[in-house]
């Protein structure tokens, strides 16, 4: 609480007054990248989302600093770490961002692509430095006190099932379909749980765990650190449980982490990943159960968003007069 009071004083205002700014930024990114849905050009879709989001954030009241951006690990277009946006006439705020989460879904016209962003009071977001990947686990509020990243998956399943009042065979688990997860997927399946294996999109998978309307109980596995910090903003806002640990995927990444004086063994909980007041926003790009894709109707463009803030999930429909261009 002391840290939140300090950051509130530094910002000179309530971070939640910027929710409309974040919604406008993800909406702009979603509409811009939707023009590339199904065109099999991930870089072009990512570039369109990034440019539109950067333009939307340029007019934000206040001074926003990108603490954790997306793109460095795969040489993609990005809002870069340390980039400053906004007019300066308002509160300071920090940003964690992925303008297009699920670029492959967008390129292949598969459900799950989202434009995502999190805003926090200054100093709220943990920075992973040169660490691009992290091992993570996300659970609903009732299971937040039983998780341990050092547990084998079978024990994790048993503990989460007990906390949720279920049998292991009733659990539904999200694990991204990556070569690094081959053994993990096999072990979870052998233990009796149902496994969803999307090709990417661990932010979307984590949101599915948090939303009571979706039948998902747990997300585990290695994903991106930007996605991890944004996920933590949503988890913290809703009282869920999350743990993360840096998990470099290449020797040079591990060496860079060590050179930065960071530990490869330390486990961070949700309140360490996001240590101050924050909120999370996502807007649908290629559709799916979280948010529909942008669409045109009677001369207007309609987009669907999720705002996760202060213990609430709000489903928001934006209607504007700008057009989707292809």
Which residues are documented as binding site for Mn(2+)?
Answer: 46, 70, 98, 101, 227
Rounded Cα gap, residues 238 and 285, in angstroms: 23
Q: Residue 173 class from Cβ within 10 Å (0-12 exposed, 13-18 middle, 19+ buried)?
A: buried
For 116, residues 6+ apart whose C-beta sits below 8 A from its C-beta are: 26, 97, 98, 99, 101, 203, 230, 280, 281, 282, 283
User: Which is nearest to 231 in space by CA: 35, 77, 97, 81?
Assistant: 97
Return the H-helix or E-strand segment holding 302: strand 300-309
DSSP string for 61-110:
SSEEEEEE-S-GGGT---PPTT-EES-SSS-EEEEEEEEEE-HHHHHHT-
Residue 7 exposure: Cα atoms within 13 Å on the Cβ side: 20
User: Which is nearest to 23 in space by CA: 307, 230, 237, 290?
Assistant: 307
> Based on C-alpha coordinates, what's the Rg of the chain?
19
With the C-alpha atoms ordered 105, 111, 115, 117, is the resulting torsion angle positive or negative?
A: negative
Rounded Cα gap, residues 259 and 129, in angstroms: 10
Rounded Cα gap, residues 73 and 53, in angstroms: 20
Residue stretches of the annotated binding site = 46, 70, 98, 101, 227
């Amino acid at each position: 609480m002391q840290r939140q009071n300090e950051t509130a004083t530094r910002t000179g205002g309530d971070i939640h007054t910027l929710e409309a700014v974040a919604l406008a930024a993800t909406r702009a990114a979603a509409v811009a990248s939707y023009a590339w849905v199904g065109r099999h050009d991930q870089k072009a879709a990512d570039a369109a989302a990034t440019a539109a989001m950067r333009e939307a954030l340029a007019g934000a009241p206040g001074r926003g600093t990108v603490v954790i951006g997306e793109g460095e690990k795969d040489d993609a277009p990005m809002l870069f770490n340390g980039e400053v946006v906004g007019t300066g006439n308002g509160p300071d705020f920090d940003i964690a961002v992925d303008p297009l989460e699920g670029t492959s879904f967008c390129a292949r016209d598969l459900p799950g692509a989202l434009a995502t962003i999190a805003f926090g009071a200054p100093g709220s977001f943990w920075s992973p430095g040169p660490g691009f990947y992290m091992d993570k686990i996300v659970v609903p509020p009732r299971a937040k006190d039983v998780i341990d990243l050092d547990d084998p998956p079978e024990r994790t399943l048993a503990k989460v099932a007990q906390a949720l009042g279920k049998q292991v065979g009733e659990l539904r688990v999200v694990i991204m379909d990556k070569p690094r997860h081959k053994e993990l997927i096999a072990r979870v399946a052998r233990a009796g749980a149902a496994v969803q294996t999307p090709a990417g999109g661990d932010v979307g998978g984590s949101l599915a765990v948090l939303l009571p309307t979706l039948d998902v109980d747990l997300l585990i596995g290695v994903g991106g650190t930007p996605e991890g910090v944004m996920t933590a903003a949503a988890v913290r806002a809703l009282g869920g449980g999350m743990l993360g640990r840096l998990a470099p995927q290449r020797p040079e990444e591990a060496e860079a982490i060590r050179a930065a004086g960071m530990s490869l063994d330390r486990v961070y909980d949700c309140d360490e990943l996001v240590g101050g007041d924050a909120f999370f926003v996502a807007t649908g790009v290629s559709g799916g159960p979280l948010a529909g894709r942008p669409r045109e109707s009677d001369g207007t463009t309609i987009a669907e968003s999720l705002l996760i803030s202060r213990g609430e999930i709000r489903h928001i429909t934006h209607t504007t007069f700008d057009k989707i261009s292809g």
